[in-house]
């Protein structure tokens, strides 16, 4: 592997990893904010418990997103200095604005939320969480504006070989970004939905296994209380069944949202990056059919090796154009078009290193695009379907006793994560060999593009990149183990793990001891210095 390939692996690994934490942060943040709002309005203790429990998991995850996010901003300059030089005038601005207008808000107000349970009035405390969550949505917007400019450059003109921003409005309202932002936000909510559903299912199952909850003659649940297990009271049952239902509904709504926005996005991509979509289909020849299963050697990068085994006629045309008859261009048609427009060989420029003058392969790695596209849709759909089934199975007010269903529900947490990762890998790998894909709009700026081969830092050695690839991958692996262990520990502990006071108070006094939204009670004096302590 040379420097370019190592740098690409590093960007891929660190970004996919970072984007495991991000959707959970955004999605769970929204859900916790809604739950705390419900508590603020109703004062019902189960909402406080849900806020505390899901809030705790939210924070364990949030910090990993923060920690791995710094790498993202630094590595453009470290590993991709030529890219940074080329795009800096337009790409740097959304990044800087993300830090200035979103990260500051997110981190500062989340700090206020974590530590301010007693120092702030309840309404202001709740508002802090909302401000932080809105900050995280803004950060998604800014970073997707930056990414969308790489997918579809707008609002610039070339000056001395570099794109220079001439129309900020065009950059910040890039249609690619306007559909990618809701798509990403729904994807994040899908992650939160599956997370709530799986974990709530586990606790309801434990309550049944331990004989706390039983089924009555009418088939409805009879919530019970455990004398020995702290926190396993009747309110606890409400916590989990409500969490489960919220999770399932969120999962279904967000799948519908990703499908609708994904459809819009697909139609744009057929115009903006036809090769990406042809590669997503492994479609060699022009046609109208959507491939359900293609066999053959996708990796050979040779169209003649691929046979579409099952095809649904008309669907591809619908995905691309909204009708069932328009022929969609296949790889064999597109390749000569790309070669004519953007050249057959990389320029003889020292910036390409050993690759200077090499033939350009305009076809993305089809194994990745074809399966990435299908995994995204498949995992997303599976999660939504599972959510629907889960609602049906829990209509009695609790879950079936089957340990296998419980395991399936917990395993199902992974599906939306998989869909998110697959979608991003698809769209980023599908952009290759460009790091900044050309905008094919005839009125647009056709000559603003950059090959990935030109983007890597010329002064950085393969050895340095390898050192960082190994270091970061090892650190990330260790931290993933730690994070998952902590999450599992807190999940197993249930609400008590986030509200230790529940373990020390007899169950029937719980509701009196619970501080209401009015800020009363809570046992500790109001001048207590630390509402929360590290």
Partner 1 sequence: MELLPTIWFIAIAVLWTGYLFLEGFDLGVGMLMKTFARNNTERRVLLNTIGPVWDGNEVWLLTAGGATFAAFPLWYASLFSALYLPLLVVLVALIFRAVAFEYRGKVDTDRWRARWDWAIALGSFFAAFGIGAALALTTTGLPLNANGDREGGPLAWFSGYAVLGGLAVVGFSLVHALAFLALKTDGDIRHRARQWFVRLLPVLLLPIAAWALSIQFMEGKPWTWAAVVLAVAAAAAAWAQARTGAEGKAFLALGAFLVLGTVSIFGAVYPVVLPSTLDGAFDLTISNASSSDYTLGLMSIVAAFGLPLVIAYQAWTYWVFRRRVSADSIPEAHSFLPAVAAKAFTTKG
Residues 23-52 contacting partner 1, CB under 8 A: none
- H helices within 394-532, ranges in order? 403-411, 414-429, 462-493, 495-498, 501-504, 510-513
∠ Cα 237 240 226 (to 5°)? 35
Q: Which of 123, 210, 503, 523 binds partner 1 (CB under 8 A)?
A: 503
- Long-range own/partner contacts, residues 219-224 (CB < 8 A, 24 or more apart): 219/396, 220/396, 220/397, 221/396, 221/397, 221/398, 223/397
Between CA 302 and CA 322 the distance in angstroms is 29
149 binds partner 1 (CB under 8 A): no
Which residues within the stretch 432-461 sit at the binding site for partner 1 (CB under 8 A)?
A: 457-461
Nearer to partner 1, 273 or 497 (CB): 497
Q: Which residues pair with 118 in a beta bridge?
A: none
Q: Which residues pair with 4 in a beta bridge?
A: none
Q: Which of 13, 16, 137, 165 binds partner 1 (CB under 8 A)?
A: 165
519 binds partner 1 (CB under 8 A): no
Collapsing DSSP states into helix, strand and coil, what is residue 364?
Answer: coil
Burial bucket for residue 62 (CB in 10 Å: 0-12, 13-18, 19+) = buried
Which residues within the stretch 100-129 sit at the binding site for partner 1 (CB under 8 A)?
A: 100-101, 103-105, 107-112, 114-116, 119-120
Nearer to partner 1, 77 or 296 (CB): 77
164 binds partner 1 (CB under 8 A): yes
Between CA 250 and CA 340 the distance in angstroms is 47
64 binds partner 1 (CB under 8 A): yes
Segment contacting partner 1 by CB under 8 A, of 31-39, 90-98, 266-274, 322-330: 90-98
Nearer to partner 1, 107 or 302 (CB): 107
Q: Which of 60, 179, 421, 450 binds partner 1 (CB under 8 A)?
A: 60
Cβ atoms of 425 and 372 closer than 8 Å:
yes
As measured in angstroms, the least distance from the Cβ of 476 to partner 1 is: 9
Q: Which of 294, 439, 497, 514 binds partner 1 (CB under 8 A)?
A: 497
Between CA 326 and CA 287 the distance in angstroms is 8
Which residues within the stretch 461-490 sit at the binding site for partner 1 (CB under 8 A)?
A: 461, 463-465, 467-468, 471-472, 475, 479, 482, 486, 489-490
Interhelix angle for 331-342 vs 274-281, to 10°? 150
Q: State the number of binding residues for partner 1 (CB under 8 A).
A: 90
Between CA 520 and CA 292 the distance in angstroms is 60
Q: Which of 89, 271, 327, 511 binds partner 1 (CB under 8 A)?
A: 89
Nearer to partner 1, 399 or 456 (CB): 456
Q: Which of 13, 16, 43, 81 binds partner 1 (CB under 8 A)?
A: 81
Between CA 497 and CA 59 the distance in angstroms is 13
As measured in angstroms, the least distance from the Cβ of 234 to partner 1 is: 17
Which residues within the stretch 214-253 sit at the binding site for partner 1 (CB under 8 A)?
A: 227-230
As measured in angstroms, the least distance from the Cβ of 431 to partner 1 is: 21
């Amino acid at each position: 592997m040379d420097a370019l390939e190592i740098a690409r692996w590093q960007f891929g690994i660190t970004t996919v990893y970072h984007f495991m934490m991000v959707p959970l942060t955004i999605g769970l943040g929204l859900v916790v904010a809604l739950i705390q709002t419900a508590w603020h309005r109703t004062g019902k203790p189960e909402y406080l418990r849900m806020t505390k429990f899901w809030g705790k998991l939210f924070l364990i995850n949030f910090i990993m997103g923060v920690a791995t996010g710094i790498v993202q901003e630094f590595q453009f300059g470290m590993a991709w200095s030529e890219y940074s030089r080329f795009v800096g005038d337009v790409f740097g601005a959304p990044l800087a604005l993300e830090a200035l207008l979103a990260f500051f808000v997110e981190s500062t107000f989340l700090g206020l939320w974590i530590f301010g349970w007693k120092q702030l009035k309840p309404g202001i405390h709740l508002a802090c969480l909302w401000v932080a969550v809105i900050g995280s949505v803004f950060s998604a917007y800014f970073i997707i504006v930056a990414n969308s400019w790489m997918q579809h450059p707008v609002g610039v003109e070339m000056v001395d070989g570099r794109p220079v921003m001439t129309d900020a409005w065009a950059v910040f309202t890039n249609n690619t970004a306007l559909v990618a932002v809701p798509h990403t936000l729904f994807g994040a909510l899908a992650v939160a939905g599956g997370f709530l559903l799986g974990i709530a299912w586990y606790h309801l199952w434990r309550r049944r296994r331990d004989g706390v909850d039983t089924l009555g003659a009418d088939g409805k649940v009879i919530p019970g209380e455990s004398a020995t297990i702290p926190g396993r009271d009747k309110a606890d049952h409400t916590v989990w069944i409500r969490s489960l239902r919220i999770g399932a509904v969120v999962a279904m709504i967000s799948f519908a949202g990703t499908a609708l926005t994904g459809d819009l996005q697909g139609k744009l991509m057929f115009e903006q990056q036809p090769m990406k979509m042809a590669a997503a289909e492994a479609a060699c020849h022009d046609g109208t059919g959507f491939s359900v299963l293609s066999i053959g050697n996708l990796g050979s990068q040779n169209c003649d090796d691929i046979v579409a085994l099952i095809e649904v006629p008309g669907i591809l045309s619908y995905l691309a154009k909204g009708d069932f008859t328009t022929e969609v261009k296949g790889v064999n048609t597109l390749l000569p078009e790309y070669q004519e427009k953007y050249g057959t060989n990389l320029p003889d420029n020292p910036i390409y290193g050993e690759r200077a003058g090499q033939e350009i392969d305009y076809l993305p790695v089809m194994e990745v695009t074809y399966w990435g596209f299908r995994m995204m849709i498949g995992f997303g759909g599976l999660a939504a379907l599972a959510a629907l089934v889960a609602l049906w199975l829990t209509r009695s007010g609790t879950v079936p006793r089957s340990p296998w269903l419980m395991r399936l529900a917990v395993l199902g947490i992974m599906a939306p994560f998989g869909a998110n990762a697959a979608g991003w890998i698809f769209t980023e790998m599908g952009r290759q060999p460009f790091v900044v894909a050309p905008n094919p709009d005839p009125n647009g700026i056709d000559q603003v593009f950059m090959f990935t081969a030109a983007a890597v830092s010329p002064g950085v050695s393969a050895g340095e990149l390898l050192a960082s690839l190994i270091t970061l991958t090892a650190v990330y692996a260790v931290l993933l183990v730690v994070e998952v262990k902590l999450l599992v520990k807190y999940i197993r502990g249930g609400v008590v793990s986030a509200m230790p006071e529940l373990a020390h108070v007899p169950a029937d006094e719980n509701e009196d001891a619970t501080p209401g939204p009015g800020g009363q009670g809570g046992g500790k004096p109001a001048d207590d210095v630390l509402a929360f302590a590290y």
